[in-house]
Chains A and B, each alone.
Chain A
């Protein structure tokens, strides 16, 4: 192959590539332009931007809006949704495809302070409070919330008796859970704020739930018996008061009666006395005889003559 022939081929190639050259340049410029422009990014209203330059944090709190960072691979940005409220339910299986496990599954059972088994489900709501910490301090902050909550419930329920857990302890459990989970999470520095902890379910396992219900019934029975006694007391006492009042009233009536009678009797006596004193002898006899007249007719009477009396006495030898 001669040199001239070689040159001719090269010439041909140049001829072919010549129009491509400007196209290539355009391509290169276009690529660079796209690369430079790729640094523009938008932080949405519920997000916060965190910019890293060569892996190192340079701006941990980019507000919502349009911003620019140096294009890859110099800078990159993360935009977690910091205003989003995340929910995590403790007591639900996290296995895929099996959302809710058996009611009595081991996962929700806890031991109370008096060694009773109780089922607890709690729902936590949380949000991001420190974005760089949320991103860089712990491996899986959302998972940490779940297991920290499980540990907190174990600790809290273990301090309460089963009666407390089922009655007055509910609010306490919620508040304490929130407090303790927050404490745990802060100790890991995972940048999460627990907003609320809500008990969704708290009840004894199904093997013993009947006996717990019976206790509630017994309590109701007790209240019922007591209130019945109270109502019968409320009948007995007013009735007794009524009787008392009538007793006193009748005594008062007796008193008035006696006094009025006495007053009447004495005024009659005084009236009679007045007249009597004017002629005592006459009235004495008259009153005596009148009485005899009044009483005499209704009696059976035997009148013994004084002569006969004397004779009989003589016969029977009775001395005078």
Chain B
């Protein structure tokens, strides 16, 4: 009775253990390898319920099959035109050949170590063959950052795939900057550039302003001279009109006009300052010289 009970309990434990190690579910995010005494016999890609021979005959190893991110620290590189740049990149990768991965790297931290080596080697080579203007440039066509990063990720993918069963999906540049010791010179250049622009704005302002003022003066001259032209024309009309009217009137008796006009001008130019010497026998004075009264002289004649 006692023996039977013990063996029953033992059998129960064995069954539970066997069932527990025989059946397993594989998650959507995982990829599994079944090892038989350490030798890989089966790779499971699809999620679901599976069975294997119980431990320790067959064991399972699971790897992540999601896209993984590796974000190594920023490091310094040299561009093609010998400029020091600090580049911070990140990598997206995933395990595509778990067997190769298992054999070459065993686990994720090993993989990240190798990936860092690969990336810094490939990036160093490729960055060194492009000038800084290929990384940042506001001239379209000059900037080739996308091409650069794509070729780095292709190169990394090639060697990682071959050696470690890893697919490098993407290598991207998070940050690009100068090393701290180079920044002061960059700032100095920025400062000088801003000063130049400020100066340019101010002198452009002066230039525009004097242009506007000159234009104003020009227009003023034009307006005034046009007005002068018109005014003289109008005055001429007045003069001409007056002459026409005079001619019409005076041509009726030019001799009388001359006589009358002469007398008028006498009135004007013979003034207090005039001294006149008159001959005694002039017509107006002839009566003065005759002897006797005007009446008798008349009679004499």
Which residues of A pack against B, CB within 8 Å?
A: 52-57, 73, 106-107, 109-117, 132, 135-140, 143-144, 147-148, 150-151, 154-155, 157-162, 164, 184, 187-190, 204-205, 207-208, 211-212, 214-215, 217-219, 221-226, 228-230, 232-233, 236-237, 239-241, 243-245, 247-248, 250-252, 254-259, 261-263, 265-267, 269-270, 272-273, 276-277, 280, 284, 287-289, 291-292, 294-295, 298-309
Contacts and interface: CB of A to CB of B under 8 A. Distances in A.
B300 interface: no
A298 to B, nearest CB: 5
Given A114-B138, A265-B246, A295-B266, A56 B238 contact: no
A158 B176 contact: yes
B187 interface: yes
A299 to B, nearest CB: 5
Contact of B227 (A161, A243, A272): A243
Interface residues of B, number: 117
Given A136-B66, A225-B205, A259-B238, A151 B174 contact: yes
Contacts of A148: 172
A228 B213 CA distance: 10
Contact of A236 (B64, B217, B232): B217
Interface stretch (B112-120, B158-166, B249-257): B249-257
* Chain B facing A: main interface SS: helix
B223 A54 contact: no
B27 A151 contact: no
A270 B252 contact: yes
A189 B29 CA distance: 13
Nearest to B89: A151
Interface stretch (B6-14, B98-106, B122-130, B276-284): B276-284
A262 B245 contact: yes
12 contacts: A106-B180, A111-B178, A132-B28, A154-B175, A222-B204, A258-B242, A262-B241, A262-B242, A263-B245, A266-B248, A288-B284, A300-B276
B226 A289 contact: no
A225 B209 contact: yes
Given A115-B136, A258-B239, A295-B266, A240 B219 contact: yes
Given A52-B47, A301-B275, A273 B201 contact: no
Nearest to B26: A55
A298 B272 contact: yes
Contacts of B216: 229, 232-233, 236-237
Interface in B220-250: 220, 223-224, 226-228, 230-235, 237-239, 241-246, 248-250
A135 B212 CA distance: 67
Interface stretch (B33-41, B53-61, B139-147): B139-147
B245 A112 contact: no
Given A262-B243, A287-B260, A251 B232 contact: yes
A300 B49 CA distance: 152
Cβ-closest 7 pairs across A and B: A113-B138, A255-B238, A266-B249, A222-B205, A244-B227, A251-B231, A262-B242
Contact of A256 (B170, B190, B238): B238
Contacts of A56: 25-26, 28, 46-49
B195 A214 contact: yes
A214 B260 contact: no
A199 B5 CA distance: 74
Contacts of A240: 219-220, 223-224
B266 A144 contact: no
Contact of B139 (A113, A266, A306): A113
Given A208-B194, A254-B234, A261 B242 contact: yes
A319 B142 CA distance: 115
Interface string B275-301: 111111100110011000000000000
Given A229-B212, A266-B246, A298-B271, A158 B136 contact: yes
B49 A259 contact: no
B230 A248 contact: yes
A188 B153 CA distance: 14
Contacts of A211: 190-191, 194-195, 198
Given A139-B68, A190-B67, A73 B170 contact: no
B289 A307 contact: yes
A299 B170 contact: no
Given A262-B241, A295-B266, A303-B285, 4 more contacts: A52-B27, A55-B47, A113-B143, A304-B278
